Each structure stands twice: as structure tokens, then as C-alpha cells.
């Protein structure tokens, strides 16, 4: 993109004043001399240079004022950058159990809820990865898209912070995962993709939803990470049932969700966190694993150039003012003995 393509003005009518910038080359603000001809004065290259300099100062003063009045600015731009990162879909559980602590208590001044810890650490995760494009979704009774895939990290942080309402009772993780797969757009097809599922539990996934997830995994492959926030006293995703104990998705949904996610044929890893420190360690490990070359676009905000224009105009006016204050009439200048007096 050329410079003309990224420059803009707020008041185009003020540009009609710009041709006046040529005026100093045809008229001078200095007093006219009574000397009838330059031939009567010796050649003075310094004076010629100073004259051109003052004409140029007048030119930039007028041009600067015209551009300042026009509101010259650099337009907002979108610049392609190369970095290390991924396209990441953050899928956050907002069931009511997330509002309790890891110790299965209501949060107090000394403890934070699992949802608060997740929001805090996910915000840190997104802040450490400026080259990522991030989408945010939540789920409880139904999936809820929060923000589509974007490289606007301030908006991503705001979206994560917005998931602070009281959760609902159910955990429909299957449809939440379907939403996460759907959030990868065409521009992410040639870049690394990752889904980060943050949940403290699971539920039985309907057979039709399981089939839809297998299709989604085949069409939009992505690395899949499950950050399981294990509540004290609950079953873990790696815990095999005791002898004689029922082993089904109804009795142990977390274990069977883990088995199902492994069966999708995607790069998959589960992290079992029993504290906010474990969550932090898991996010740092995901950060380390998702470090691949990627292209992303960075938006540069509009930049106002009017102050610079007024500054340049002030510089030109200062030169002209100094020249005016130092101006002397030719007849007031000290006489040079080597130059004969003109005949009277």
C-alpha cells in the first residue's frame, strides 16, 4: 500500500488552501530596497541561498497550516505479521459447579472459585500470545458463542472477563465442542488450530452428537486439550472403577468423555488440575506445545498528523519571523570601502 493510500483528511475543503504554498516563490514579505538594480551590488551567493531558504520556509508554513486544518491523518491499517502461535478456541464450562472452589466450598476472601481461576489464567494465557487468533465460547445447558475468531486481544480479554454470571445446572459438553469446532474460519485452514476445553465435569453425550463431533474432527482437525478442574472428592478422568463397580458414561462421565476424546483421532491431551497452581502449569504447557509459525494480522489505529503539520508550520513561521526581525535596509548597512559610492 502506498503512502497516498493510507493518508486521509477530515476536511477536504481545507486542501483548497494548499496551492497558496507556492506564493512565497513569487512574492516576498521583506521590505523592498531603493537600489534600482542588483547589478549595483556585488554577487552574494549566501544571500541567494538565504532567499531560497526563506521562500521554502514560507512554503512549508502555508502547506503545514493547510494540511493541519484539513485534519491530515494516517488511516487505520491492517498489517500482516509473522509470529509463533495458533488459532485457539477457548471453550469454558459455565455450569453451576464451576462457581465453587476446588475444595467444593463457596469462595471466600482466601479462595477463588474454579471459574474465577479459569478466567484469570486464560486471560494471562491470551496476553502471552500476541500472534494467536482466539475465539471464546461457553457452555452449560446450551453452548454460547462469546466472540468469534479474532486477533483483537483486548476484545478477547473482555470476552473472557464477561463470563462471570452465575452458572446453570447442566453441562452439555458435546454441543459445546461442536460449537468450538465451528469457530475455525477459512483463514485458519493453513495454520495451527487448537481447542482448549476448560471444565470441572462432563455429561453423557448423545450418539448423534458423538457422530457430529467425529465429522467435525475430520473436517476441521485441531489439537484438543481438556483442562479438567477436579473438585475435591470427585472421580478423576484416569480413575478405573473398582471391582464390581459400574463403568458407564452415566456412572463415570468424566472418564468416558476422556475415552471418547481420545477416539477422535486428533492430537489430544488431558490435564487434571486440583488447584489454581495446577491450572497455571497446564496453561503454560499448552503455551509451550502450541508454538508454531503463523501469519496474523495486526490492526494499527488511526494516527492524527495534524499536530505534526502545525509543528512544521510553526517552524517555518519562526524562521520567517527571525528573518523579519534581522532585516536591515541596504542604505543602513555599514559601507564597504572597496565598493565605490554610486554617483550622485
Work out the average pLDDT over 152-176: 81
Q: Helix count (H) and strand count (E) of the chain?
A: 9, 11
The pLDDT of residue 29: 59
Q: Mean pLDDT over residues 181-191, rounded?
A: 75
Summarize pLDDT for 221-241 with one digit per residue, the tens.
Answer: 899 999 988 888 777 788 777
pLDDT tens figures, 19-35: 888 888 887 655 555 55
% of the chain beyond a pLDDT of 70? 82
pLDDT on residue 264: 92
List, for residues 82-108, the tens digit of each pLDDT value.
Answer: 767 788 999 998 888 887 888 877 777
- Give the pairing type, strands 7-8 and 87-93: unpaired
* pLDDT given for residue 330 in this prediction: 53
pLDDT tens digits, residue range 196-217? 999 887 778 889 999 999 999 9
**Residue 88: which of 137, 124, 121 has the closest Cα?**
137
Residue 1 has pLDDT above 50, yes or no: no
Q: Is residue 9 over pLDDT 90?
A: no
- Residue, of 300 and 74, whose pLDDT is higher: 74
User: pTM for the full model?
Assistant: 0.65
Report yes or no: 277 and 46 within 8 Å, Cβ to Cβ: no
User: Cα 325 to the chain's mean position, in Å?
Assistant: 51
Residue 36: pLDDT band with limits 50, 70, 90 = low
Q: What is the pLDDT of residue 341?
A: 56
User: CA 257, 250, 172, 286: dihedral to nearest 10 degrees?
Assistant: -20
Question: Of residues 145 and 44, which shows the higher confidence score?
Answer: 145
pLDDT at 31: 55
Q: How far apart are CA 331 and CA 214, in angstroms?
A: 98
Classify strands 143-150 and 133-139 as parallel, antiparallel or unpaired. Answer: antiparallel
User: When comparing pLDDT for 153 and 314, which is higher?
Assistant: 314
| pLDDT value at residue 28 | 65
| pLDDT per position as a tens digit, 276-292 | 888 889 888 888 888 77
Strands 133-139 and 87-93: parallel
Amino acid at each position: 500500500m502506498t503512502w497516498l493510500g493510507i493518508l486521509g483528511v477530515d476536511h477536504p475543503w481545507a486542501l483548497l488552501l494548499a496551492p497558496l504554498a507556492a506564493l512565497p516563490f513569487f512574492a516576498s514579505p521583506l521590505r523592498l530596497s531603493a537600489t534600482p538594480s542588483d547589478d549595483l551590488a556585488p554577487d552574494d551567493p549566501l544571500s541567494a541561498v538565504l532567499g531560497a531558504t526563506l521562500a521554502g520556509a514560507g512554503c512549508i508554513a502555508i502547506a503545514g497550516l493547510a494540511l493541519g486544518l484539513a485534519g491530515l491523518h494516517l488511516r487505520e491499517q491492517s498489517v500482516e505479521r509473522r509470529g509463533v502461535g495458533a488459532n485457539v478456541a477457548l471453550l469454558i464450562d459455565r455450569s453451576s459447579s464451576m462457581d465453587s472452589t476446588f475444595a467444593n466450598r463457596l469462595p471466600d476472601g482466601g479462595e477463588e472459585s474454579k471459574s474465577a481461576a479459569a478466567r484469570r489464567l486464560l486471560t494471562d494465557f491470551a496476553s502471552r500470545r500476541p500472534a494467536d487468533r482466539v475465539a471464546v465460547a461457553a457452555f452449560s445447558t446450551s453452548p454460547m458463542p462469546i466472540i468469534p475468531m479474532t486477533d483483537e486481544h483486548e476484545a478477547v480479554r473482555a470476552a473472557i472477563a464477561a463470563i462471570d454470571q452465575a452458572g446453570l445446572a447442566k453441562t452439555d459438553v458435546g454441543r459445546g465442542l461442536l460449537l468450538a469446532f465451528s469457530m475455525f474460519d477459512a483463514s485458519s485452514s493453513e495454520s495451527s488450530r487448537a481447542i482448549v476445553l476448560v471444565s470441572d465435569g462432563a455429561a453423557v453425550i448423545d450418539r448423534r452428537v458423538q457422530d457430529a463431533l467425529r465429522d467435525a474432527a475430520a473436517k476441521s482437525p485441531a489439537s484438543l486439550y481438556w483442562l479438567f478442574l477436579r473438585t475435591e472428592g470427585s472421580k478423576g478422568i484416569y480413575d478405573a472403577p473398582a471391582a464390581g463397580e459400574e463403568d458407564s458414561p452415566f456412572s463415570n462421565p468424566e472418564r468416558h468423555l476422556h475415552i471418547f476424546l481420545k477416539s477422535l483421532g486428533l492430537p489430544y491431551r488431558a490435564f487434571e488440575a486440583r488447584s489454581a497452581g495446577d491450572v497455571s502449569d497446564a496453561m503454560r504447557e499448552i503455551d509451550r506445545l502450541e508454538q508454531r509459525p503463523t501469519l496474523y494480522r495486526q490492526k494499527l489505529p488511526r494516527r492524527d498528523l495534524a499536530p505534526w503539520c502545525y509543528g512544521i508550520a510553526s517552524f517555518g513561521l519562526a524562521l520567517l519571523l527571525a528573518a523579519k526581525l534581522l532585516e536591515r535596509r541596504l542604505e543602513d548597512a555599514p559601507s564597504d570601502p572597496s565598493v565605490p559610492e554610486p554617483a550622485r
